[in-house]
Amino acid sequence: MFTLLAKLLNALNSESSTRQISLAIALGFIVGLSPIFTLHNFVFLFVVLFLRVNIGGFILAWGFFKGLSYLLSSLIVSVGESLLNAESLHSLFDMLYQFSLFKLAHLHHTYTLGALVLGCILAIPLYFVCNYLIEKYRLHVKAFFEKFRIVKALKASKFYRVYCQVSGQGEMS
């Protein structure tokens, strides 16, 4: 866990593209909201592995948003219910239902569809918000916090040693 967190912090502090980290968090959000064993999660996992996104950030975001999904479950289900029961979309779902892939992906389940749709819609603003926050962090927050004594104390801790090992700073020093 320490290693994962250190990797994320390292990524935040490193020269890694902010987009890679933000995309990892956004994808972690989509996968985290959905039930684990769904077809679309395999697709997103494929994307995460295939595209150059920060894997540590993705795993942490997945775990965090998985926890958050329990609080959002009723919202997720209601989104799925309203979509699957919408009169205007009935013919669309009727047509999709004839495809095995649609049923295999369990997209006729209110939670799965709600999680996918809500995740995909919210992932876009989340991507931009994360982009903005990471840039701000790199510019102001990092320098500001390093002045504090507590940060200096933290640098003497075990966590910092792990962080240094991950980032390769320990070897240099």
Partner 1 sequence: MSRLFRWQGLAVFFAVIALIATFVYFFADSLVKNGIEKSGEWYLGAEVNVEDVEITYAPLTLNIKGFQATDPENPTHNLVSFAQASVGLDIWQYFFGKIYISELNVIELKLEQARKSVGEVYILADEQSSNAQQPADDSGLPKLDISLPKVDDLLKNSDLLTVKHGQALEQSYQEEKKKLLAMQKKLPTKARLAQYKKQITALGNTKIKSLADIEKLNQQFNVLKKQFKADKALISAAKEQVVASKRLLAKQTLALKNSPSADWKNIESKYQLDKVEGADFAHMLFGEKAREYYGYADTVYQKIAPLVTAAKADTKNAADKANTAKNKGRFIHFTEQRPLPDVLIVQANFSLVLDQGEFAISGKELTHQHWVRGIKSTISVESTNVQGSGELNLSLDFKLDQNKILHSKGQWQLNKLALAEVALQQSSAFTLQLDSGLLSGNGTFSLLDNQLISDNELMISQASYSGTGDSHLSKLFINTIRSLQSLALNISAKGKLTDPKLSISSPLDKQLKKSMMQQVSKKLTAFKTDVKARLNAKLTNALGVSNKEGESLLDIEGLINDTDSTLDKFIHSDVIKAKKKEFADKQKKKLEDKLKKKLGKLFG
Binding site for partner 1 (CB under 8 A): 45-46, 48-52, 73-74, 76-77, 80-81, 84-85, 90, 93-94, 97-98, 100, 103-104, 106, 108-112, 114
Distance CA 173, CA 162 (A): 13
Q: Minimum distance from CB of 104 to partner 1 (Å)?
A: 5
Q: Minimum distance from CB of 151 to partner 1 (Å)?
A: 33
**What single letter denotes the amino acid at residue 69?**
S
Q: Which is nearer to partner 1, 49 or 124 (CB)?
A: 49
Q: Which is nearer to partner 1, 50 or 149 (CB)?
A: 50
Q: Minimum distance from CB of 11 to partner 1 (Å)?
A: 15
Q: Which is nearer to partner 1, 97 or 148 (CB)?
A: 97
Q: Minimum distance from CB of 108 to partner 1 (Å)?
A: 6
Longest dimension (CA), the chain: 66
Q: Which is nearer to partner 1, 91 or 173 (CB)?
A: 91
Assess contact for 112 and 105: CB atoms under 8 A.
Answer: yes
How many other CB atoms sit within 10 Å of the CB of residue 62? 23
Distance CA 155, CA 152 (A): 5
Q: Which is nearer to partner 1, 65 or 111 (CB)?
A: 111
Q: Minimum distance from CB of 7 to partner 1 (Å)?
A: 16
Q: Which distant-in-sequence residues (6+ apart) come within 8 Å of 29 by Cβ? A: 61, 65, 119, 122, 123, 126
**What single letter denotes the amino acid at residue 75?**
L
